Copies of this chain bind each other. A is one copy, B any other.
């Protein structure tokens, strides 16, 4: 393992991503299960951090968790025409129950009367139950969230970013008016943005999807879009205004205050384990994983430095004492006192795993009552080596806490600066195609004539897609112009990029 190398980003970005994940022990392709992955402990611990923070935000905004069946009757999917069209090809289908042995080979036994699909998303099955639970305006709003696994039989898969099965949360809400549902759509998109900014240290742009990129069955899809280090966009979360589409398909009605029966207005919104991939891509470097402290399963690793057995006993004891103190300050700490591994190898390994702060603790530190710390990304000294800092042992917890806060902020600002540098406003087709030539991509604000045909033509010519129509203030001023491709009138600029 110590010999394994990470392919540099400049050499092969896709391979770099895989190497970072593999060497940090985040996940691996399942191989024996088509398009699926195994989320390994270090990767799952990042997802748990995400879950805990998001779950708190969902509950603070009045949502309750529930759990609906994994299997959905085939006929349910067909009830909303756009929905089934969007998901039909991606469904895994359960057709049988039971197995039997025939000529020594295990085969399926009982064919089901009606097949079930493994949920690709749960609007349909939840719509069915909403119809049973909702009767009056007093039952509204109904604000439900589900943490679950879902399956989509994707052709091309990539660890975390696109997998046959993934873990996610799906919010499903029902409201008495369209205005209230629209507020919910925006409220939850803001929760996602806050989470991306505050926890993932990943700046995002909020906006509305074009009809072409809309969730199948929604009247409007809003999203948060992040820029990755290769200039490609990553859709990090979506929040959908479902209008009355599912309300009508599943006959979800309520009696309003005037005593009249109406269909409910619904929303749904979700983020998934894709966010782990986003965190990897947003911050990591050629030395491996870089994690914002608020996502890091381990905040601090302490490496005792010694030459003799006496020194070992002293530094390990001191490391354990410091670890206990830091833990009482709410930090997660690992003391790496393995005997058969040299300090340099330990540094290398924990860097690859994205631990934000390393403490080196030698006999001299004990004497001086100080510790040497190294941030996962540190400014370079004049001699070209990364800067190390000396901190007093006393009150180390708060001091490390401050370092972690600084590091969290540093990553966000670095990502924001990168995005600023890689966001352009373009008005000529030549400049546009230049940006997207070969592997190139950036966030490009450009005019578009508003038609699906032009959107498609641009995609075919450049592989760039419209990521969103950014909300006011999250892109250039909303001004009319002429389409970059057709020269026809355009109401506003939209955000283009190649995407994951």
A128 to B64, CA, bound (A): 37
Most B-side CB within 10 Å, residue of A36, A45, A95, A99: A99
A78 to B100, CA, bound (A): 11
Chain B proximity mask over A110-145: 1 for CB below 8 Å, otherwise 0: 000001111000000100110000000000000010
In the complex, the answer to whether A70 meets B115 with C-beta atoms within 8 Å is no
**Total interface residues on A, using CB and 8 Å?**
60
A275 part of interface (Cβ distance < 8 Å): no
A334 to B70, CA, bound (A): 32
In the complex, the answer to whether A32 meets B73 with C-beta atoms within 8 Å is yes
Q: For residue A325, give the distance in angstroms from its CB to the closest CB of chain B.
A: 19
In the complex, the answer to whether A95 meets B76 with C-beta atoms within 8 Å is no
Question: A118-B118, A165-B70, A167-B67 are known contacts. Are A89 and B99 too (CB-CB below 8 A)?
Answer: yes
A96 to B36, CA, bound (A): 16
Q: Give residues of chain A (10-61) contacting chain B, Cβ–Cβ below 8 Å.
A: 30, 32-33, 36-41, 44-45, 47-48
Question: A32-B128, A65-B45 are known contacts. Are A108 and B88 too (CB-CB below 8 A)?
Answer: no
A100 to B65, CA, bound (A): 33
A-B contact list, 29 entries, CB within 8 Å: A30-B68, A32-B76, A32-B125, A32-B128, A33-B73, A33-B125, A36-B71, A38-B69, A39-B67, A41-B64, A41-B65, A44-B65, A44-B67, A48-B65, A71-B151, A74-B106, A77-B99, A84-B106, A88-B98, A88-B99, A88-B100, A88-B106, A92-B97, A93-B94, A93-B108, A94-B118, A95-B95, A98-B153, A108-B115
10 nearest A-B residue pairs (beta carbon): A41-B64, A39-B67, A33-B69, A88-B99, A93-B96, A36-B69, A97-B153, A95-B95, A89-B98, A78-B106
